[in-house]
Amino acid sequence: MEFIDEELLHYAEDHTSPESELLQKINRQTHLNVMKPRMLSGHLQGRLLSMFSHMIRPKQILEIGTYTGYSAICLAEGLQPDGTLHTIDVNEELEETVRSYFKEAGLTERIRFYIGNAIDVIPTINATFDLVFIDADKRSNAKYYDLIVDSVNPGGYIIADNVLWSGKVLAKHRTKSDERTMEILDFNKKVQDDERVENILLPVRDGLLVARKL
CATH number of the domain bearing residue 49: 3.40.50.150
The pLDDT of residue 198:
98
Identify the three-state secondary structure at position 158: strand
Stretch (H or E) spanning 146: helix 141-148
Does residue 1 register a pLDDT over 70?
no
Portion of the chain with pLDDT greater than 70, in percent: 99
On whether residue 203 sits in a domain, the answer given is: yes
Please tell me what DSSP assigns to residue 10. H
On whether residue 1 sits in a domain, the answer given is: no
On whether residue 97 sits in a domain, the answer given is: yes
C-alpha to C-alpha distance for 141 and 181, rounded to whole angstroms: 12
Crossing angle for the helix pair 42-56 and 6-14, nearest 10 degrees?
40
Does residue 178 register a pLDDT over 90?
no
Does residue 192 register a pLDDT over 70?
yes
On whether residue 106 sits in a domain, the answer given is: yes
Portion of the chain with pLDDT greater than 90, in percent: 89
Predicted TM-score (pTM) of this structure: 0.96
Better-predicted residue by pLDDT, 2 or 42: 42
* Structural domain total, the chain: 1
Q: What are phi and psi of 164, to 5 degrees?
A: -100, -15
The pLDDT of residue 207:
94
On whether residue 187 sits in a domain, the answer given is: yes
* Cβ atoms of 210 and 157 closer than 8 Å: yes
| Residue spans of beta strands (DSSP E) within the chain | 60-64, 84-89, 111-115, 129-134, 152-161, 197-202, 208-213
Chain-wide mean pLDDT for the chain?
A: 95
Does residue 172 register a pLDDT over 80?
yes
On whether residue 25 sits in a domain, the answer given is: yes
Does residue 176 register a pLDDT over 80?
no
C-alpha to C-alpha distance for 172 and 144, rounded to whole angstroms: 28
In this prediction, residues 121-132 reach a mean pLDDT of: 98
Give the pLDDT band (50/70/90) at residue 4: confident
Cα Rg of the chain, angstroms: 17
Query: How many other C-beta atoms can be found within 10 angstroms of the C-beta atom of residue 49?
Result: 28
Does residue 3 register a pLDDT over 80?
no
Does residue 2 register a pLDDT over 80?
no
In this prediction, residues 90-117 reach a mean pLDDT of: 97
Domain that holds residue 79: 6-213
Q: What is the pLDDT of residues 200-214, one digit of tens each?
A: 999 998 999 999 999
Of the candidate ranges 111-115, 164-168, 177-181, the one whose mean pLDDT is the lowest: 177-181
- Please give the angle made by the CA atoms of 35, 160 and 185, to the nearest 5 degrees: 95
On whether residue 30 sits in a domain, the answer given is: yes
